[in-house]
Structures are given as C-alpha cells and as structure tokens.
Amino acid sequence: MKIAVFSSKAYDREYLEKHCDSGVVMSFFDTRLSPDTAVMAQGFEVVCCFVNDDLGEATIKALKKRGIKLIALRCAGFNNLDLPAAQLAGITVCRVPAYSPHSVAEHALALLLSLNRNIHRAFNRVRENDYALNGLLGFDLYQKKVAVIGTGKIGSTFARIMTGLGCEVIACDPRPDAGLIKQGIAYVTLEHIWQQADIISLHCPLQPDTFHMVNQQTVSKMKPGVALINTSRGGLIDTKAAISGLKSGHIGYLGLDVYEEEADLFFEDKSNVLLQDDVFARLLTFPNVLITGHQGFFTKEALTGIARTTMANIRAFAADDFAAMHLVGE
C-alpha cells in the first residue's frame, strides 16, 4: 500500500515510520493538501492529512480522480473535511479520536498559569536584568470558578486537573460525562458560564453551532477580567470580538494554541517573512495574550498515540475490517 503524507514534518516521519508495517510505502510531503496540490497524490491509494489540510469538495474531487480510496486523518478534529463530498466520492475517511488527552489538557493549564503569573513577561525581564515585579501581579487559582466547555476526553481531563487545584469546576456539553457528575461537577448552560466563570477553557469541536461561540455578544456577558483559554479550534472565537474585549479590559487574559486563520501561519518558520495578518498582529501587541502555534498535541506520548492509531486505521482498511477503524461520520 502506498501512502502520501501531507503537511508532514520530521517528527511525523519519525513516529509514523516507527509504527509502519512492512509492505507499506510512505512518501512524505511538507506541502499542505489542497485542490492545487492534490496532483501529488497521483499513484497513491491513501492520503494521510493533518488539521490545516484542505479537504473541501474541490480537493475531494481531485483525490477521487487520482484514485485515492482512503483519507487517514492523523488528528481528532475534522472541521476541514467535506464529509458529504467524501461519501459521494466513495472515499473512506478515518481519524484519531484520542491519543493523549493529557497533552492538550496540560497545555491549556500551562497557558493559564503562564498568563496568570506573567511567566512570559518575567522571563523576558530577567533576561534584560530587570527584576521589578510591577505589572506581574497574578491571582490564586484556588477556589476560582473554572468553566469547561466540551467535556470529551480532553475537556474532562482538564476539568479533573482544575478540580485537583482546588477550583470550583462547572461544565457545558450536550453529552455530560457521568464520571465528572459523580465527582460533583455541575453541568450548566452557556449563559450561566458567560455570567459566572472566572476562567473559561474551550474544548469543544468546531461545528456550525459552535463557530464563533465567543463573539461580541457573549464576551459582553462575561465577568470583567475573565481568563479565556482555547486549545481546541480557532474558529470557536471571533478574533475581532476578542480584541475588542481585550481593549476594554473585559477579557483579562487570553491564551491561544489555535487561531481561526492559522492555516497560513502555523507549523512553519516565518521569521524572515513580513506578517500580513493584521488581526493576528494586533493580538501580539497585548501583554495579557499568550499564543502558541498549535503545539498542545506535541508530546512524545501524543505523537506515539497518533502514529499507532493512524497506522492501525490504515491496516484495518487494507484488511477490509471497517469495524476496527475509527471512521468519521460514525
């Protein structure tokens, strides 16, 4: 079986090859998959894709034309996929629904702690021989009300971490986690969260009903000085609304590992390129904003889990064992 791996980096190759079966030929392309680059899939049976690859209708049609039978997503989210188009084209799509929920949950905590205690600013000050504490004042997380929106594997892990820190955790999800309820975590409405939470962490998928769930209207309902963390998908937040909230002081802390227009920014070294995204550039001017480049998943354990599940999906597809696959849409 021949597999074309798009948006691949050295670490993708290292971990995927480590778990690759004999008889499988993998070709690695650092190029993002798109309608224009789909021609590179010619001669392959499988394309292996990541979060910022374009799997819209035009790309799907181009892949079908080149004989692609399987799209193996090496990620959990599939908001970049036109599933009806894939089904119409007869292309099977699988994903990695879980790898290491601790990796992303712990990264969300890292963003929160760094923002609250101004670690990023203190680090730069000390390097400049400046040890003044003015402007670095934080707050105790203990007994703060933390809202977790989306309690799948990652969100529930984050909720338990915050409970361990002595926070009062509340949650919102159409499918509550029985384990969290047993621990005493209350499920509430989004309206309650906007009005009551000191800290809000987003862990839900990007869908039509969650797109820009954080917007001008919802920001205006939040407690002044709220800490907002997003390690899920950038489209959950209307960035311009977040900037307005930061300017007014309504949002006191903003930690992002994702950004709604990240496809043209993240995962590449652009240090020698002039930043063209004015909205993103504005975000970078705030001292109470901390952004990382979609690295929440980037741990040894998570990369191992992603590689194992991706190769297991492909192996099951080759054996026509669809029941053993993590199929999208089922």
Annotated catalytic residue, options 294, 308, 315, 330? 294
75 close to 313: Cβ distance less than 8 angstroms: no
145 close to 167: Cβ distance less than 8 angstroms: yes
Residue environment code for 258-281, b if the CB has 16+ CB neighbours within 10 A, otherwise e: bbbebbebbbeeeeeeeeeeeebe
Annotated catalytic residue, options 45, 203, 262, 326? 262
29 close to 4: Cβ distance less than 8 angstroms: yes
**Active-site residue, 203 included:** no
Alpha helices in 230-295 (DSSP H): 239-248, 278-283
Within 8 A by CB and 6+ apart from 75, the residues are 50, 51, 95, 96, 297, 306
Q: Which residue in 187, 52, 163, 49 sits closest to 105, CA to CA?
A: 163
Instruction: Give me the phi and psi of 186, to 5 degrees please.
Output: -90, 140
**Active-site residue, 233 included:** yes
Rounded Cα gap, residues 302 and 78, in angstroms: 18
244: three-class secondary structure by DSSP: helix
Burial of 224 (0-12, 13-18, 19+ CB in 10 A): exposed
**Active-site residue, 262 included:** yes
Rounded Cα gap, residues 105 and 154, in angstroms: 6
Rounded Cα gap, residues 17 and 9, in angstroms: 12
- The residue count of the chain comes to 330
Annotated catalytic residue, options 74, 107, 203, 233? 233
Provide the annotated active-site residues.
233, 262, 294
